[in-house]
Amino acid sequence: MFRNPRRAALLLATGAAAAGAGGLHDRGHSVTVSASAPLRHLLSTAATGLLSRNPFLAPWQGDFAILNSFACASAPPANLSNHGSGGNSDDSRCSPGCLGRNSIANAAAAVGPAVVNISCMQENGWVLEKSIGSGTIIDPDGTILTCAHVVADFQSTKPVLKGKVSVSLQDGREFEGVVLNFDIHSDIAVVKIKSKTPLPAARLGSSCKLRPGDWVVALGCPLSLQNTVTAGIVSCVDRKSSDLGLGGIRREYLQTNCAINIGNSGGPLVNLDGEIIGVNVMKVRAADGLSFSVPIDYVVKIVEHFKKNGRVVRPWLGLKMLDLNPMVIAQLKERSSSFPDVSKGVLVPMVTPGSPAERAGFAPGDVVIEFDGKPVETIKEIIGIMGDKVGVPFKVLVRRANNVPVTLTVTPEEADARR
């Protein structure tokens, strides 16, 4: 924060006026200033907030913000060892995983040419609205990963595409895009553009080995400012959607402290090897350093569903589940001596009435220890075993109070938007 709020207010007010008017003038000198519409709005709002002694006015009011604006890997990464600052890079002295002088710049350079700006024109009554987001080319044929809310309108009862999709590359080329698929629950979409020549593409990495504290880089077009790079660390590798107050289908996010804003939606989260490890999707409006991305391992599964089924098929059992660990098990045994004698598994605290699980005979308090003949310790493992198998029966071994083993057969149904 500025030490002198009055001076800060005057500076921001001047900046807002310049952004709106397009220029500043003094005696004998002229300085031209240009800014995008969202940026002009932000400067104007910030100035108003300081002048009214409330620096936290909109657009930062509310809780979570999806990051698109309504005002509006083939090509391998560069050889990191050859990129220096005047030939004096200290990267060569770093062990693998070490942050060197050029580590962030090299990661951004490897992915940057494949990062695109996506805009959609949508009619809202008599008003023509422009939605802006980001995306990443992941195949030289023009396949682009982005967020579903960038290209689809979720406000209506049934999500629909917003309209014509325009894609701008870092090198200045513009293409008309076609939305191949989108999924509202994961907020992932695939867009396709056609080019007579191969397009720059980013490599997909893996998110399963990320640790809190790992360095990451976010790229995109915040506030319509193309080719923007920010950096930070992974704050949490498995932030649950329930932790964020998001209901419906269970999801997990990568939490980072990278600075992302309106327009960053769909842009890549990148590791220091220049590989995509997430898709930026939202932030907390009322806080700094709380940003969230969809892990790339999950995104890859979504894309595989698109290719195989034309949509994402999610089996539904109707079970509320909880991963167990030795500490939780010990606590549950203290509360009830009849708790089953297990060292691992997945607890079932609740069964949805009328669900496949209830029909199969599941009961609250069951501990799932095997699913389809495979030992399980986490909900992730159960979801992975089911895959997209709807209507296929699974044998499940559970242990109940007083260590009673029971084998159940459950047949998943396809989850719908209401669940």
Helices (H), 31-153: 37-51, 103-111, 148-151
The catalytically annotated residue of 41, 149, 166, 186 is 149
Indicate if 30 belongs to the active site.
Answer: no
Q: Indicate the DSSP class of residue 48.
A: H
Nearest to 115 by CA among 80, 85, 148, 146: 146
Q: Is 166 among the residues known to form the active site? A: no
26 belongs to the catalytic site: no
Strand pairing report for 275-284 and 291-295: antiparallel
How many whole angstroms separate alpha carbon 217 and alpha carbon 230?
A: 6
Q: Specify the 3-state DSSP secondary structure of 353.
A: coil
> Positive or negative, the Cα torsion across 212, 213, 217, 218?
positive
Contact indicator for 73, 275 with CB cutoff of 8 Å: yes
Q: Which residues pair with 117 in a beta bridge?
A: 134, 168
In Å, how far are 112, 151, 265, 291, 394 from 283, measured between CA atoms?
22, 19, 10, 4, 38
> What is the SS3 assignment for 241?
helix
Marked catalytic residue, from 91, 183, 187, 366: 187
Break the chain down into helix, strand, coil percent, rounded to 5.
Answer: 25, 35, 40
Q: Catalogue the long-range contacts made by 14-18 (C-beta closer than 8 Å, 24 or more residues apart).
A: 15/43, 15/47, 16/40, 16/43, 16/44, 16/46, 16/47
Residue of 263, 269, 176 lying closest to 226 (CA atoms): 263
Please tell me which residue in 103, 166, 186, 265 is annotated as part of the active site: 265
Residue 170 C-beta-side C-alpha neighbours within 13 Å: 21
Locate the DSSP E strands across 19-170: 23-26, 29-32, 64-66, 115-124, 127-139, 143-147, 152-153, 160-161, 165-168
Reference 244, options 297, 277, 284, 213; nearest CA is 284
Peptide bond into 340 cis (omega under 30): no
Active site residues: 149, 187, 265
